[in-house]
Structure 1
Amino acid sequence: MDTSLPRETDAIVFDLDGTLWDTCETCAIGWNRVLDRHAIRFRPITADDVRGVAGKPHEQCIRETFGGVPEPQILTLIAETQLEDNRLVAEQGGVLYPHVEAGVRRLSARYPLFIVSNCQAGYIETFLAWSKLGPSFRDFECWGNTGRTKAENLGLLIARNGLRRALLVGDTAGDQAAARECGVPFVFVDYGFGVCRDADRSFSSFADLTSWLLADLRA
């Protein structure tokens, strides 16, 4: 595996959940509130339930988690958990992974930064406001805005911003597949939600990732 960073890299695109932060505890509270509000019979949702489907489009997360629930109630859950998640995350936030805040600020001084996610509309904006990292990112795209796959949304970001040599940083095999489909290098962070084999590069901390991405400045 080549451990060097191509000097021609012109942008870094980040996945969000499992890469920059974790909101599973907060989202579990929101999903339970929707269950209670509509008296939907189901067991209490835990953060591990949310974590088990994290990284997938929101509708898929709900359908996989609430198997056996009648379709009308599934549709209610899909619609209202999106709103409840955004509302609660705006109030309570999530957990930024160690060194993300400082690392993103350092990286944004060197590279244009972007976010691509399978999340619902409004969720990335909530992250940017709560984390106060909004000025560090140039653009973003998500499933909730377009209804498209992560690969398609990554392609939209690349085309819209005229990127020629971007790389994607993520935490799941789905992220890797999106990168491969778009023909960009994939950097895996193993502290998140997924497992990935054969990434172009892997890191166990955001600090190490940041150091690697900035190494060419010290050369």
Structure 2
Amino acid sequence: MVKTIIFDYDGTIHNTLGIYEPAFREAYQWLVEQNVVEEQKIETAQIAGWLGLNSKEMWDAFLPELDQRYKDQASAIVGDSMVRQIGKHRAVWYPGAEEMLTVLKNRGYHLVILSNCKVAYRKAHWEEFRMERWFEQFYDCESYGFCPKTEIVQEVIRDYPGPYLVIGDRRQDLECARSCKSPFIGCLYGYGEKGELDGADYFVKSVEEITGII
């Protein structure tokens, strides 16, 4: 019987694009002004495709030849912008997320988050949504040197009892589940591309469907 549920955050609980897209566009405009990239039209779908990657993976995938100093500064602009938007209450969870978490908490599961995010982002969300009402811990990848989730999940295993269940919307979440030999629920409403979650044990098309599977 599952004892600990490991949630991804962005694209699983948090509908991230609303604060990520303007933050990314702000950072890209700064790069244009520094004359290190060309102005170009970047579609929302492309931006959404980066959600779930950590910041290093995202910038290496998007602009592999860009000098690391500019990648770091652009990443900082994105992070700072999102934290400001969270402070202005612009971050939103998927409909039904709070109710779903309350049901699982009341069933006695240990609930934790494992996210490819930064420390400031984690802290801002924890405070904004009073996440201690449901979650015992929020693991962010920056605290672990931006290691992949397949490595950070070993910390979860040391801290919380198994068996485990992993829930997320991207390939990294599926790989995380496989690395700790746990079942995986793939969230089709998130930011993964078609076929990315092939091999999941279960699929859900909305947050509300999660409690019916567990």
2:158 maps to which residue?
A: 159
1:4 maps to which residue?
A: none
2:49 maps to which residue?
A: 52
8 Å contact from structure 2 (residues 177, 183) kept in 1:
yes
Comparing 102-111 with 23-32, greater Cα deviation is found at 23-32
Q: Classify 1:123/1:44 alpha carbon distance in 2 versus 1 (closer, same or farther; 3 Å).
A: farther
- Which residue type is aligned with residue 140 of structure 1? F
2:142 maps to which residue?
A: 144
- Which residue type is aligned with residue 186 of structure 2? F
Comparing 190-199 with 33-42, greater Cα deviation is found at 33-42
Q: 1:12 aligns with which of 2, 5, 11?
A: 5
Query: What's the CA shift for 1:184?
Result: 1.4
Q: TM-score, normalised by structure 1?
A: 0.83
8 Å contact from structure 1 (residues 28, 45) kept in 2:
no
Q: Does 1:93 align with 2:60?
A: no
**Which stretches in structure 2 are left out of the alignment for 5+ residues?**
none
1:43-192 equivalences under 5 Å are 43=40, 47-66=44-63, 69-110=66-107, 111-147=109-145, 148-161=147-160, 163-192=161-190
8 Å contact from structure 1 (residues 25, 47) kept in 2:
no
Alignment deviations for residues 115-171 of structure 1 (CA, whole Å, 9 cap, x no partner): 00111122223223223333210012121111221111111112123x221110011
8 Å contact from structure 1 (residues 34, 80) kept in 2:
yes
- Which residue type is aligned with residue 96 of structure 2? H
The alignment's C-alpha RMSD in Å is 2.1
1:206 maps to which residue?
A: 207
How many residues align? The count is 205
Query: What's the CA shift for 1:181?
Result: 0.9
Query: What's the CA shift for 1:92?
Result: 3.7
- Cα distance in 1 for partners of 2:80, 2:181 equals 34
Q: Classify 1:47/1:90 alpha carbon distance in 2 versus 1 (closer, same or farther; 3 Å).
A: farther
- Cα distance in 1 for partners of 2:203, 2:154 equals 22
- Cα distance in 2 for partners of 1:56, 1:36 equals 21
1:23-34 equivalences under 5 Å are 23-34=16-27
**Which stretches in structure 1 are left out of the alignment for 5+ residues?**
1-7, 214-219
Query: What's the CA shift for 1:200?
Result: 1.3
- Cα distance in 2 for partners of 1:85, 1:79 equals 10
- Which residue type is aligned with residue 116 of structure 1? L
Alignment deviations for residues 23-43 of structure 1 (CA, whole Å, 9 cap, x no partner): 223122223333445623443
- SS of the residue 1:134 aligns to: helix
